[in-house]
């Protein structure tokens, strides 16, 4: 009995020390206070579950190999980026709209390069048109095709992409596919993979997961970028995953996904290509002399649009994206419109929106009426009332799942890409954002927003206050988990 008592006491002491060690680790990470408090509440309320969850989702474990590949390439990439930008600025100068923007100044000072000039942009608002044009671009490729997506769902019209790649390989086009291992799990197990690999298409999965690996690498840090590169001269990016919206998740009863993509020709297409190659090298470990000098043909101008290419990575300068979003909100003088499928901002972004609305700027949020994440939907709703009381306008899109991610500032500057207005996207995922300094492109985005507004229902503050007490409780509980979403 005495031995059993000692064993029980020792186990209790070890258990208590483990809780204390985890609590110290959470505090020492110096995260935003809300995030740290959420983890501490979970740890002390459900110690065992909290420790396991923190090991899998909370600790910043990126994998030793991927972290080594990332750091080894960072210096070369940074120098290449500065050289590229300086050469372009000497040749083309800076556009007045860009130079007068505080957001431009922030990005230039942070990244060490000016906005890239000479780009031609085409905006696509229909997923089927996106697929058709990507197929056409693949058919015209002369050297290479590179595709990178968070979700690849090989059904419907996406089968035509597979066929286009098989035809391209027959023409000796170098074809590569990089997909996220979690988001594209179905594709990685699909029969298309065998056909593509047998034909010579190189397919890689980013951040593979497994029951053992998850204790050494975080499984929730995902590569969320959407990129298509043709011959290193044409680049696509935006919110569109490689899905046919008439097939993807149609059993969830929220309609078809509504996305937007931009097709870029000009120097910035080459910059987007370097983002893809960065991810490819990190995923495969292959070496490249890519960052030794600006590539041939990178100074061929196709248009008159200036833009910054802003990749985000939690392993390197992860605060840049967050600060860029804050700067864009505070810079707005007349109007700022945000479209995002998931709206779970951190305290800084939420406060920025509140104060911007209170200083008389027209703040408009266009969000889907329903999403594929119930917890995120309830957490999002907990922010509505303070925003409405501050004077912001909230529109709920009711014609499918609005998946477009963009920020339009004063109808002049556009942030467009893969970033959701939530903490996971801002702080954890690998994302890609184009910051576009163009009034003509902003006009196109404004027309897109007008279309979205016509299919949306505005929230009324007084009606919103009348929702049931049970819903309010559920939203408040969900908000407590918002730092972990």
The CA-based dihedral angle spanning residues 93, 98, 104, 109, taken in that order and rounded to the nearest 10 degrees: 20
Which residues 6+ apart lie within 8 Å of 48 measured at CB? none
CA distances from 65 to 59, 70, 71, 217 (A): 17, 9, 10, 10
- Check if 226 is active-site: yes
- Check if 190 is active-site: no
pLDDT for the residue 45: 72
DSSP string, 270-336: HHHHHHHHHHHHHHH-----GGGSPPTTTT----SEEEEEEEEBTTB-THHHHHHHHHHHHH-SSEE
CA distances from 63 to 14, 134, 178, 222, 315 (A): 28, 33, 18, 13, 11
pLDDT for the residue 269: 93
- Check if 403 is active-site: yes
- Check if 405 is active-site: yes
pLDDT for the residue 69: 55
pLDDT for the residue 125: 96
Query: C-alpha angle 238/242/248, rounded to 5°?
Result: 115
Of these residues, 192, 403, 412, 422, which one is catalytic?
403
Of these residues, 224, 233, 308, 412, which one is catalytic?
224
Of these residues, 137, 244, 410, 422, which one is catalytic?
410
* DSSP code at position 424: I
pLDDT for the residue 83: 67
Of these residues, 69, 233, 405, 412, which one is catalytic?
405
Of these residues, 180, 231, 259, 279, which one is catalytic?
231
pLDDT for the residue 57: 61
Question: For residues 175 and 269, what is the distance between their CA atoms, to the nearest angstrom?
Answer: 17
Q: What are all long-range contacts of 34-41, with beta carbons under 8 Å and residues at least 24 apart?
A: 34/346, 34/347, 34/482, 34/483, 35/346, 35/423, 35/483, 35/484, 37/483, 38/480, 38/481, 38/482, 38/483, 38/484, 39/483, 39/484, 41/480
Residue matched to tokens 């890519």: 290
- Check if 120 is active-site: no
Q: Say if residues 367 and 396 touch (Cβ distance below 8 Å).
A: yes
Of these residues, 137, 157, 192, 226, which one is catalytic?
226
Buried b / exposed e along 334-370 (16+ C-beta atoms within 10 A): eebbbbbbbbbbbeebbebbbebbeeebebbbbbbbb
The tens digit of pLDDT for each residue in 145-181 reads 999 999 999 999 999 999 999 999 999 999 999 999 9
Tally DSSP H helices, then E strands, for the chain: 19, 19
Q: Say if residues 407 and 363 touch (Cβ distance below 8 Å).
A: no
Q: Say if residues 435 and 121 touch (Cβ distance below 8 Å).
A: no
pLDDT for the residue 339: 98
pLDDT averaged over 10-residue windows placed end to end, the chain, 485 residues? 65 73 69 68 71 63 55 61 64 60 87 82 97 98 97 94 97 96 93 94 87 63 94 96 92 88 93 90 73 56 86 80 95 97 93 97 96 84 94 96 97 96 87 95 98 96 89 77 59
């Amino acid at each position: 009995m005495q031995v059993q008592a000692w064993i029980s006491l020792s186990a209790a002491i070890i258990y208590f020390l483990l809780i204390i060690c985890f609590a110290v680790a959470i505090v020492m990470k110096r995260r935003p206070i809300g995030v740290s408090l959420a983890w501490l509440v979970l740890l002390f309320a459900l110690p065992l579950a909290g420790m396991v969850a923190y090991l899998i989702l909370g600790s910043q474990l990126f994998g030793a190999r991927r972290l080594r590949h990332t750091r080894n390439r960072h210096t070369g990439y940074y120098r290449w980026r500065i050289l590229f930008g300086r050469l372009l600025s000497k040749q083309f100068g800076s556009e007045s709209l860009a130079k007068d923007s505080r957001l431009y100044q922030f990005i230039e000072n942070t990244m060490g390069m000016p906005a890239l000039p000479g780009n031609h942009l085409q905006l696509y608002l229909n997923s089927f048109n996106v697929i058709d044009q990507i197929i056409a671009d693949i058919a015209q490729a002369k050297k290479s095709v590179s595709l990178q997506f968070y979700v690849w769902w090989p059904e419907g019209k996406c089968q035509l992409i597979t066929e286009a790649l098989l035809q391209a390989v027959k023409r000796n086009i170098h074809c590569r596919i990089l997909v996220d291992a979690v988001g594209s799990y179905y594709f990685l197990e699909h029969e298309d993979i065998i056909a593509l690999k047998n034909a010579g298409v190189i397919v890689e999965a980013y951040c593979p997961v497994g029951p053992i690996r998850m204790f050494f690498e975080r499984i929730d840090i995902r590569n969320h970028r959407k990129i298509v590169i043709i011959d290193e001269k044409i680049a696509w990016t935006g919110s569109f995953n490689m899905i046919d919206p008439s097939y993807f998740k149609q059993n969830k009863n929220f309609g078809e996904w509504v996305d937007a993509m931009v097709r870029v020709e000009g120097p910035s297409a080459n910059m987007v290509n370097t983002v893809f190659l960065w991810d490819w090298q990190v995923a495969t470990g292959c070496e490249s002399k890519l960052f030794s000098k600006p590539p041939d043909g990178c100074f061929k101008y196709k248009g008159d649009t200036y833009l910054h290419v802003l990749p985000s990575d939690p392993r390197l300068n992860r605060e840049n994206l967050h600060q860029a979003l804050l700067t864009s909100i505070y810079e707005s003088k007349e109007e700022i419109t945000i479209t995002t499928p998931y709206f779970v901002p951190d305290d800084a972004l939420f406060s920025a929106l509140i104060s911007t609305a209170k200083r008389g700027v027209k703040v408009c949020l266009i969000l889907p009426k329903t999403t594929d994440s119930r917890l995120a939907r309830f957490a999002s709703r907990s922010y509505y009332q303070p925003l409405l009381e501050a004077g912001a306008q909230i529109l709920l899109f009711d014609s499918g799942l609005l998946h477009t991610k963009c920020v339009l500032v004063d109808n002049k500057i556009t942030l467009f890409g893969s970033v959701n207005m939530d903490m996971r996207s801002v702080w954890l995922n690998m994302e890609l954002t184009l910051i576009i300094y163009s009034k003509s492109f902003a006009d196109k985005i404004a027309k897109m927003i007008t279309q979205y507004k016509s299919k949306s229902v505005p929230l009324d503050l007084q009606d919103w206050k009348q929702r049931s007490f049970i819903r309010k409780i559920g939203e408040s509980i969900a908000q407590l988990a918002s730092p972990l979403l």
